[in-house]
A and B are shown apart, each in its own frame.
Chain A
Amino acid sequence: MATSNAFAGADLELIDIRKDFPGFTALDDMDLTIPAGQFFALLGPSGCGKTTTLRIVAGLETPTQGQVMLGGKDITSAKPHERPINTVFQSYALFPHMTVLDNVAFGLRQRKVADAQKLAEDALNLVELGHLGDRRPQQLSGGQQQRVALARALVNRPSLLLLDEPLGALDLKLRRQMQIELKAIQLEVGLTFLHVTHDQEEAMDMADIVAVMNKGRIEQMGAPEVLYDRPKTVFVSKFLGQSNLFVGEVVEKNATSVSIEVGGNKITVDKKRAEKHTGKIAIGVRPEKADFHEKKPKLGSDHIVIGPGEIIDIRFTGVSNQYLIDIPNVGEVTVFAQNVGKSPEIALGANVYVSWKVEHSYGLADLPSGSEEE
């Protein structure tokens, strides 16, 4: 039975974790450290291994190899009920045969905490459901159930709180509201949160650190803004927001930058923002960092200009317009332009040049699929 429940949370460390299921490997050599008190998000598409990771941390799955450390202690072989970790399940998993209050008090009663009733009531009040304590879970709405599940986990003051896509079943509006509440609660109680989600906006919005997972591995980890600004792999650049990617041989290299040639255009990236400096590499830029011009702009070497190409699609998305420009020998490039009434209006079929600042380029470690053989 867990005895130490650090109020401030504890470091979680996954060392060289591997998990094999019959027929496939869900996790492969996974290393991960989550510092105490962080709101950490594991982001990835379904089937990437993020839920398996969470279940290994909770003790619901045993890793094939590797170690799970919590607050410096090896808990790899500890049973779920022996770990000072609680989970908010995707399905909420509220006990249908108990009242809401009894659900919340369940963990406290198992640990024979004095005053379980009072603490459970407080936890329900924290999620603003104090008045529904004697209802059955199935009498509550989805959002309310989610909050009960949260209260049921939080009331135990675990060293680590695991959230398994807890907002997945809620509608958009409720989801936003819950995201704000969750973040507020995390700040208030100061626990370590490990949040698993496939919703990149949710992850970026709430987490201090986001780890992007793909095919059983962590592709990249960091603060949301860093991940967005400098994705290191094709997967991360596409999973987090949108990317324009250009693939070509390095044709020019100097002390600070690397350039490739794509369809007669030179595309440059700062050396320190590029993972690879030789051979065939991929360089990307975010659509909102790019701009387009009807005439070839005269810009310094701190800018990249490519084109011309034809505008083949325009989408109005409200605050910005999304232009799709087809540049011969380069491919399609997406550009977001703020909808600020700029004139003259650019029409479909117009020929334009695309530009962006070199400092916004990023060089990736891998190449988009299908371009390796070129």
Chain B
Amino acid sequence: MAFAAFGGGAPAKDNSASRKGGPIVLALLLPGMIYLGLFFMTPLLSLLVTALESPDPSGAIGAYFYDVNFGNFLTVVTSYWPQILRSFGYAFAATVFALAISYPLAYFIGVKLRTSPLIQRLLLTLVIAPFFISFLLRTIAWKQLLSDDSAFVSLLHALNILGPTQFFIGSDAAVIFGLTYNFIPFMTLPLFTNLERLDTRLLEAASDLYASPNKVFRKVTLPLSMPGIISGTLLTFIPIAGDYVNASRDFLGSSKTSMIGTMVEADFLQNWNYPSASALSVLLMGLILVMVTFYVRKSGTDDLL
């Protein structure tokens, strides 16, 4: 399964302990199984059932009956394909930016600061600190800071980066900025836990073997930190693809930045079109699952450690 990538470690070769089973093991597993069944499987199946419903013949808004209507999937793809593409485009861009910012940061904290654990812990706390404040509040704060009359936008105008009738809030850049900012810790922390354990003796060995610092990074550091990069990118890409707050018109977005989440929200809350909202959610899940599987296969995590 694709999610083995999250473990980052070597697959256990010896499963004999778990095979022994026995009533105690089963009893210990039971709460987890019940939890998964009740709070994961049931809603998921409910979502699938809803995604297949058809509109009530009475035409009443919000009325649907149980059906096997795969047409809902076709409808959401044909009407929302730009939003679907945009979601993955934003998610890709924000993940790349988050990686570009987090990697040096995590490397600095996890490798360079090993000798001063106090500063290391302090910086790590600073990375997480903004998360003691609500996600929404932080995003609203950014909306204020980047508003049309802000110093930032004035600067962009002065530098002619933005035309006189162009502004930052509501642009693709604003949404990607918000997504990057809000999900950066999900990138930094897995990278940090990986790089913290990076064996620097291997880097010395590589430079001893004629690798320039650049080559040491590409041939040794980077491949060894792949498990961290993979879990970091998955932990950012997946929630970003489904995010609807940053791109929302009430936050950093506009009518031109709608993502899949925006459409799910609109269909569910405004249009009372539950089958469409469900079909879109299922589609999002399916697409992510396919992408993640492909990504993990392609990056060959099982080769790593």
Residues of A that sit less than 8 Å from B by CB: 1-2, 58-60, 79-81, 85-87, 89, 91, 93-97, 106-107, 110-111, 152-153, 156
Q: Whose C-beta in chain A lies nearest to the C-beta of B216?
A: A81
Q: Is the CB of B205 within 8 A of A87?
A: yes
Do residues A93 and B199 form an inter-chain contact, with CB atoms below 8 A? yes
Q: List B206-222 residues whose CB lies under 8 Å from chain A.
A: 206-213, 215-216, 219-220
Residue in chain B with minimal CB distance to A85: B208
**Do A2 and B201 have beta carbons less than 8 Å apart?**
no
Q: What chain B residues lie within 8 Å of A106 (beta carbons)?
A: 206, 209, 211, 219
Contact B305 A80 (CB under 8 A): no
A59 smallest CB distance to B (angstroms): 8
A80 in contact with B207 (CB, 8 Å): yes
Write the nearest CB–CB distance from A282 to chain B, whole angstroms. 42
Given A87-B205, A89-B205, A106-B206: A97 in contact with B224 (beta carbons within 8 A): yes
User: Which residues of chain B from 190 to 246 have a CB within 8 Å of any chain A CB?
Assistant: 199, 201-202, 204-213, 215-216, 219-220, 223-224, 226
Q: A81-B212, A86-B209, A107-B209 are in contact. Are A96 and B204 (CB under 8 A)?
A: no
Tell me, in angstroms, the Cα distance from A94 to B202 when the chains sit together.
7
Q: Does B2 contact A (CB under 8 A)?
A: no
Q: Residue of B at shortest CB range from A84?
A: B210
Contact partners of A153 in chain B: CB under 8 A:
209
Residue contact A110 to B202, C-beta cutoff 8 Å: no
Knowing A95-B220, A97-B223, A97-B303, the reply to whether A1 touches B210 (Cβ < 8 A) is yes
Looking at B201, B207, B220, B223, the one whose CB has the most chain A CB atoms below 10 A away is B207
Shortest Cβ distance from residue B150 to the other chain A in the assembled complex, whole angstroms: 46
B304 on the A face (CB < 8 A): yes
Q: How far is the CA of A87 from the CA of B223 in the complex (A)?
A: 22
**B209 x A152 contact (CB < 8 A):** yes
How many B residues touch A, CB cutoff 8 Å? 23
Known: A93-B199, A93-B201. A87 touches B208 (CB 8 A): yes
Q: In this complex, what residue of B is CB-closest to A96?
A: B305
Establish whether residues B205 and A97, one from each chain, have CB atoms under 8 Å apart when the complex forms.
Answer: no
Chain B at the A interface: SS class: helix
Q: In chain B, what residue has the closest Cβ to A86? A: B208
From A1, A86, A96, residue with most partner B Cβ within 10 Å: A96
**Cβ < 8 Å to A, chain B residues 257-305:** 303-305
Q: Among B205, B209, B216, B226, which residue has the most Cβ atoms of chain A within 10 A?
A: B209
- B200 and chain A: residue at smallest CB distance: A93
Contacts of B305 in A (CB 8 A): 96-97
Q: Which residues of A contact B209 (CB under 8 A)?
A: 81, 86, 106-107, 110, 152-153, 156
Enumerate 26 A-B pairs (CB-CB under 8 Å) in ascending A order. Answer: A2-B210, A58-B204, A60-B207, A79-B212, A79-B213, A80-B207, A81-B210, A81-B211, A81-B213, A81-B215, A85-B208, A87-B208, A89-B205, A91-B201, A93-B199, A93-B202, A96-B202, A97-B223, A97-B226, A97-B303, A106-B209, A106-B211, A110-B210, A110-B215, A111-B210, A153-B209
Closest to A155 in B: B209
Shortest C-beta distance, B8 to chain A (Å), equals: 13
Q: Is the CB of A80 within 8 A of B202?
A: no
Q: Are A81 and B205 also in contact (CB < 8 A) when A93-B199, A96-B305, A97-B303 are?
A: no
Chain A residues within 8 Å of B210, by CB? 1-2, 81, 107, 110-111, 156
Q: How far is the CB of B13 from chain A (nearest CB, A)?
A: 12
Name the residue on B nearest A112 (C-beta): B210
- CB of B224 within 8 A of CB of A96, answer yes
Task: Kindly provide the distance from the CB of A154 to the nearest chain B CB, expressed in whole angstroms.
Answer: 12
Enumerate chain A residues within 8 angstroms of B226, measured Cβ to Cβ. Answer: 97
Contact B208 A60 (CB under 8 A): yes
Which residue of chain A has the shortest Cβ distance to B220 in the bound complex?
A: A95
Give every chain A residue within 8 A of B220 (Cβ-Cβ): 95, 97
Closest CB in chain B relative to A140 CB, distance in Å: 15
